[in-house]
Amino acid sequence: MSRNLILGTLLTALFLGAALLSFLWTPYPTDTVAITERLQPPSAAHWLGTDHFGRDMLSLIMVGARTSIAVALVAVGIGLGLGVPLGLAAAARSGGWLDEAIMRMNDLIFAFPSLVIAILITAILGPGALNAIIAIGIFNIPVFARLSRGAALSLWRREFILAARTAGKSAPRISAEHILPNIANLLIVQGTIQFSLGILAEAGLSYVGLGAQPPIPSWGRMLADAQTMVALAPHVAILPGLAIVLTVLGLNLLGDGLRDRLDPRLGVVRT
């Protein structure tokens, strides 16, 4: 195992574990306010200090991990679930109208950055974690569609696909039986990277108030709340950000490590 893979797995496991653990137990409750304990620096009682309501930062970060991971995971699921079939269909009908339509739709979605989609949805439906999921998820669709189309196209030209065609197999069957297993590694690696990008995007959306709403704790909101208190208590601004950095770093290292392990020549895109 490479260093990337080990460190990446450890960091990812740490935050996944923290998120799962928070369902059962947190050091302190996150929904009670203790004004007397507000903005305390890290101490033995509160390892990571307290926020402006006197809530325990460690507990908040644990619960916040839940939100980030849930949003990003579902968004990746949307991208994989819709993007991959679209990409495979486009590749199977390469050059045809379906391919053209799918690719043009992709280009169109690329013209709407997730923030813009989130703004549009929020303007109509009001803010919420669901908006963030939809906005990030929609943006993931063309990412996976393009990736799987490109990889599938190069496979369609390979002779083993021609052999399957001479065995009379249909395009959907070939896509499922021959193409998908051969691009699975690529999708896993790209999925890891989209996961980490999703966490960053969720944090940004929550920060500007378009994502998860109180009382649901989220890292982006914690940073928004901390902004006016940066000078007073830097730890409330630094720690949630550090949580984001470490999670994203962990996922990226995991992605790189997986790529090197599975196939160093995978054409993963990172934007």
- The stretch near other proteins (CB under 8 A) out of 37-45, 50-58, 77-85, 161-169 is 161-169
Residue 34 or residue 213: which is nearer to other proteins going by CB?
213
Identified binder of other proteins from the candidate list 27, 70, 112, 130, rule CB under 8 A: 112
Please return the burial class of 44, using the count of CB atoms within 10 Å of its CB with bins 0-12, 13-18 and 19+.
exposed
Please pick, from the candidates 60, 186, 244, 254, the single residue that binds other proteins as defined by CB under 8 A.
244
Say whether residue 59 binds other proteins (CB under 8 A): no
Site for other proteins in 24-53 (CB under 8 A): none
> Which residue in the block uniquely carries the two structure tokens 């999921």?
133
What is the token pair recorded at 42? 């890290």
CA angle 75, 77, 80 (to 5 degrees): 115
CB contact set of 249 (below 8 Å; sequence gap of 6+):
11
Residue type, 64: G
The yes or no reply on residue 252 touching other proteins (CB under 8 A) is: yes
> What sign does the CA torsion over 32, 37, 42, 47 have?
negative
Q: Please choose, out of 29-37, 44-52, 70-78, 152-160, the segment that lies near other proteins by the rule CB under 8 A.
A: 152-160
* Contact partners, residue 195, CB within 8 Å, separation at least 6: 72, 73, 76, 251
97 binds other proteins (CB under 8 A): no
Q: Please answer whether residues 65 and 126 qualify as being in contact, where contact means their C-beta atoms are separated by less than 8 angstroms.
A: no
Window contacting other proteins (CB under 8 A); options: 12-20, 39-47, 52-60, 231-239: 231-239
Element (H, E) at 198: helix 180-207
User: Angle, to 10 degrees, between the axis of helix 180-207 and the axis of helix 114-125?
Assistant: 60
Counting DSSP H helices and E strands in the chain, the numbers are: 11, 0
Whole-angstrom Cα distance, residue 148 to residue 183?
7
Rule CB under 8 A: say whether 144 interacts with other proteins: no
Instruction: Choose which of 1, 35, 36, 159 interacts with other proteins (CB under 8 A).
Output: 159
Q: Which is nearer to other proteins, 200 or 216 (CB)?
A: 200
| Sole window of 28-36, 42-50, 81-89, 234-242 interacting with other proteins (rule: CB under 8 A) | 234-242
Q: Is the peptide bond before 234 cis (omega within 30 degrees of 0)?
A: no
**Position among 114, 131, 140, 194 found at the interface with other proteins (CB under 8 A):** 114
Mark the segment that binds other proteins (CB under 8 A) among 12-20, 35-43, 73-81, 121-129. Answer: 121-129
Which of 122, 140, 190, 218 is close enough to bind other proteins by CB under 8 A? Answer: 122
Binding site for other proteins (CB under 8 A): 107-108, 110-116, 119-120, 122-124, 158-160, 162-169, 178, 181-182, 196, 200, 203-204, 207-209, 223, 226-227, 230-231, 234, 237-238, 240-241, 244-246, 248-249, 252-253, 270-271
